Amino acid sequence: MTPINRLPESWINKIFDRFHGRFGNAFAAKWQTGRIGAGGIDEGILNAKKVWSEDLSGYTPEEITRGLQTRYDFPPSIDEFMKACRPSLDYERAFIEATEQMALRKTGKDRWSNPAIFWAAVKLGGDLTNFPYLAIKGRWKSALDKATEEIRNGDLSPEIPPRIKALPAPGKTTVSVDEAKKRFAEIHEILSRKVVNKAEGGGA
Protein backbone atom coordinates (compact mmCIF):
# COMPACT_ATOMS: atom_id res chain seq x y z
CA MET A 1 0.00 0.00 0.00
CA THR A 2 1.41 3.39 -1.02
CA PRO A 3 1.99 5.66 2.00
CA ILE A 4 0.07 8.93 2.08
CA ASN A 5 2.24 12.02 1.73
CA ARG A 6 1.75 14.62 4.42
CA LEU A 7 3.04 18.05 5.29
CA PRO A 8 5.38 17.85 8.32
CA GLU A 9 3.52 17.93 11.63
CA SER A 10 5.58 20.93 12.77
CA TRP A 11 4.30 22.94 9.78
CA ILE A 12 0.68 22.06 10.50
CA ASN A 13 1.10 23.01 14.15
CA LYS A 14 2.52 26.39 13.14
CA ILE A 15 -0.36 26.99 10.71
CA PHE A 16 -2.94 26.16 13.38
CA ASP A 17 -1.09 28.25 15.97
CA ARG A 18 -1.02 31.23 13.59
CA PHE A 19 -4.74 31.05 12.88
CA HIS A 20 -5.55 30.50 16.55
CA GLY A 21 -3.53 33.61 17.32
CA ARG A 22 -5.45 35.56 14.69
CA PHE A 23 -8.98 34.27 15.30
CA GLY A 24 -8.77 32.91 18.84
CA ASN A 25 -11.08 30.06 19.81
CA ALA A 26 -13.26 30.73 16.75
CA PHE A 27 -10.69 28.84 14.66
CA ALA A 28 -10.41 25.88 17.03
CA ALA A 29 -14.20 25.76 17.42
CA LYS A 30 -14.53 24.83 13.72
CA TRP A 31 -13.06 21.42 14.49
CA GLN A 32 -13.70 20.67 18.16
CA THR A 33 -15.95 17.71 18.98
CA GLY A 34 -15.65 17.66 22.76
CA ARG A 35 -14.03 14.23 22.69
CA ILE A 36 -10.48 14.28 23.99
CA GLY A 37 -7.98 12.08 22.19
CA ALA A 38 -4.26 11.36 22.39
CA GLY A 39 -2.18 13.89 24.28
CA GLY A 40 -5.26 15.57 25.69
CA ILE A 41 -6.11 17.10 22.30
CA ASP A 42 -9.65 17.23 20.96
CA GLU A 43 -10.27 14.47 18.40
CA GLY A 44 -11.74 16.98 15.98
CA ILE A 45 -8.53 19.04 16.08
CA LEU A 46 -6.44 15.91 15.51
CA ASN A 47 -8.57 14.89 12.52
CA ALA A 48 -8.47 18.40 11.07
CA LYS A 49 -4.67 18.52 11.32
CA LYS A 50 -4.48 15.14 9.58
CA VAL A 51 -6.63 16.36 6.69
CA TRP A 52 -4.70 19.63 6.38
CA SER A 53 -1.36 17.82 6.39
CA GLU A 54 -2.51 15.49 3.59
CA ASP A 55 -4.17 18.17 1.45
CA LEU A 56 -1.19 20.53 1.74
CA SER A 57 1.35 17.87 0.81
CA GLY A 58 3.55 19.20 -1.99
CA TYR A 59 2.97 22.87 -1.18
CA THR A 60 6.17 24.90 -0.93
CA PRO A 61 7.15 27.07 2.07
CA GLU A 62 6.60 30.12 -0.14
CA GLU A 63 3.04 29.02 -0.95
CA ILE A 64 2.26 28.28 2.70
CA THR A 65 3.59 31.71 3.64
CA ARG A 66 1.38 33.32 0.99
CA GLY A 67 -1.64 31.57 2.45
CA LEU A 68 -0.78 32.69 5.98
CA GLN A 69 -0.30 36.29 4.87
CA THR A 70 -3.71 36.41 3.18
CA ARG A 71 -6.33 38.42 5.06
CA TYR A 72 -9.46 36.42 5.93
CA ASP A 73 -12.76 37.75 7.25
CA PHE A 74 -13.45 34.44 8.97
CA PRO A 75 -11.39 31.40 10.03
CA PRO A 76 -10.54 29.65 6.75
CA SER A 77 -11.40 26.10 5.77
CA ILE A 78 -8.69 23.95 4.19
CA ASP A 79 -10.13 24.66 0.73
CA GLU A 80 -10.04 28.42 1.31
CA PHE A 81 -6.49 28.20 2.61
CA MET A 82 -5.33 26.14 -0.38
CA LYS A 83 -6.78 28.71 -2.79
CA ALA A 84 -4.96 31.46 -0.91
CA CYS A 85 -1.70 29.52 -1.14
CA ARG A 86 -2.10 29.03 -4.88
CA PRO A 87 -4.23 31.87 -6.23
CA SER A 88 -5.36 31.75 -9.84
CA LEU A 89 -3.00 33.59 -12.16
CA ASP A 90 -4.15 36.54 -14.22
CA TYR A 91 -2.32 35.61 -17.42
CA GLU A 92 -2.60 38.99 -19.12
CA ARG A 93 -1.44 40.87 -16.02
CA ALA A 94 1.43 38.39 -15.64
CA PHE A 95 2.38 39.00 -19.28
CA ILE A 96 2.49 42.75 -18.71
CA GLU A 97 4.66 42.23 -15.64
CA ALA A 98 6.99 39.98 -17.63
CA THR A 99 7.55 42.54 -20.40
CA GLU A 100 8.11 45.34 -17.90
CA GLN A 101 10.46 43.41 -15.64
CA MET A 102 12.49 41.92 -18.48
CA ALA A 103 13.16 45.48 -19.66
CA LEU A 104 14.21 46.49 -16.14
CA ARG A 105 16.37 43.39 -15.83
CA LYS A 106 18.87 44.96 -18.22
CA THR A 107 19.76 47.38 -15.43
CA GLY A 108 19.29 44.92 -12.58
CA LYS A 109 16.17 46.70 -11.28
CA ASP A 110 13.66 43.94 -12.03
CA ARG A 111 11.26 42.84 -9.29
CA TRP A 112 9.06 39.78 -9.80
CA SER A 113 5.85 38.93 -7.96
CA ASN A 114 6.11 35.25 -8.89
CA PRO A 115 9.17 33.26 -10.05
CA ALA A 116 6.99 31.36 -12.52
CA ILE A 117 6.44 34.59 -14.44
CA PHE A 118 10.21 35.04 -14.76
CA TRP A 119 10.82 31.50 -16.00
CA ALA A 120 7.93 31.73 -18.46
CA ALA A 121 9.43 34.97 -19.79
CA VAL A 122 12.79 33.24 -20.19
CA LYS A 123 11.06 30.43 -22.10
CA LEU A 124 9.47 32.81 -24.60
CA GLY A 125 12.64 34.86 -25.00
CA GLY A 126 12.48 37.62 -27.58
CA ASP A 127 8.94 36.71 -28.62
CA LEU A 128 7.79 38.24 -25.35
CA THR A 129 8.48 41.74 -26.63
CA ASN A 130 8.16 41.10 -30.37
CA PHE A 131 4.53 40.01 -30.29
CA PRO A 132 1.40 41.45 -28.64
CA TYR A 133 -0.32 39.46 -25.92
CA LEU A 134 -3.19 38.23 -28.10
CA ALA A 135 -0.76 36.85 -30.68
CA ILE A 136 1.03 34.56 -28.22
CA LYS A 137 -1.65 34.20 -25.55
CA GLY A 138 -1.75 30.41 -25.87
CA ARG A 139 2.02 30.00 -25.75
CA TRP A 140 2.28 32.34 -22.77
CA LYS A 141 -0.39 30.48 -20.81
CA SER A 142 1.29 27.16 -21.56
CA ALA A 143 4.73 28.47 -20.56
CA LEU A 144 3.43 29.99 -17.34
CA ASP A 145 1.49 26.87 -16.34
CA LYS A 146 4.52 24.69 -17.04
CA ALA A 147 6.86 26.96 -15.08
CA THR A 148 4.47 26.93 -12.12
CA GLU A 149 4.32 23.14 -12.17
CA GLU A 150 8.10 22.74 -12.51
CA ILE A 151 8.73 25.05 -9.56
CA ARG A 152 6.36 22.95 -7.43
CA ASN A 153 8.10 19.76 -8.58
CA GLY A 154 11.55 21.16 -7.83
CA ASP A 155 12.60 21.18 -11.49
CA LEU A 156 12.98 24.97 -11.49
CA SER A 157 14.33 27.20 -8.76
CA PRO A 158 11.75 29.26 -6.81
CA GLU A 159 14.37 32.02 -6.67
CA ILE A 160 15.09 34.53 -9.42
CA PRO A 161 18.72 34.08 -10.52
CA PRO A 162 20.93 37.17 -10.58
CA ARG A 163 21.41 38.88 -13.91
CA ILE A 164 24.55 37.73 -15.68
CA LYS A 165 26.69 40.56 -16.97
CA ALA A 166 27.35 40.19 -20.67
CA LEU A 167 30.93 39.55 -21.71
CA PRO A 168 32.40 42.51 -23.64
CA ALA A 169 32.69 42.33 -27.41
CA PRO A 170 36.12 41.27 -28.71
CA GLY A 171 38.54 44.17 -28.77
CA LYS A 172 36.29 46.47 -26.74
CA THR A 173 37.36 45.75 -23.17
CA THR A 174 40.00 43.55 -21.64
CA VAL A 175 38.69 41.00 -19.14
CA SER A 176 41.01 38.95 -16.99
CA VAL A 177 41.07 35.19 -17.42
CA ASP A 178 39.79 34.72 -13.86
CA GLU A 179 36.88 37.11 -14.42
CA ALA A 180 35.94 35.40 -17.68
CA LYS A 181 36.02 31.99 -16.00
CA LYS A 182 33.86 33.32 -13.17
CA ARG A 183 31.22 34.67 -15.57
CA PHE A 184 31.11 31.49 -17.62
CA ALA A 185 30.78 29.50 -14.37
CA GLU A 186 27.80 31.65 -13.35
CA ILE A 187 26.13 31.07 -16.70
CA HIS A 188 26.80 27.34 -16.50
CA GLU A 189 25.36 27.17 -12.99
CA ILE A 190 22.06 28.73 -14.04
CA LEU A 191 21.77 26.61 -17.18
CA SER A 192 22.35 23.43 -15.16
CA ARG A 193 20.17 24.49 -12.21
CA LYS A 194 17.34 22.18 -13.27
CA VAL A 195 19.65 19.15 -13.23
CA VAL A 196 21.14 20.14 -9.89
CA ASN A 197 17.72 20.60 -8.31
CA LYS A 198 16.64 17.14 -9.44
CA ALA A 199 19.84 15.53 -8.16
CA GLU A 200 19.37 17.13 -4.76
CA GLY A 201 15.68 16.27 -4.60
CA GLY A 202 14.71 19.92 -4.69
CA GLY A 203 11.19 21.05 -3.80
CA ALA A 204 9.00 21.29 -0.69
Segment 127-144 shows an average pLDDT of 94
**Domain boundaries, given as residue ranges, for the chain:** 9-85, 91-199
Confidence of residue 39 (pLDDT cuts 50, 70, 90): confident
| pLDDT for res 204 | 43
Q: Which tens digit of pLDDT belongs to each residue from 50-91?
A: 999 999 988 888 889 999 999 999 999 999 999 999 888 899
pTM of the model as a whole? 0.54
> Which residues lie closer than 8 Å to 7 by C-beta, 6 or more apart?
52, 53, 54, 56, 57, 59
Average pLDDT of span 89-95: 92
Task: Identify which has the larger pLDDT, 127 or 5.
Answer: 127
> Is residue 19 within 8 Å of 75, Cβ to Cβ?
yes
pLDDT in tens, 139-190: 999 999 999 889 888 899 888 988 876 555 555 555 566 766 676 666 666 6
d(CA 158, CA 148): 9
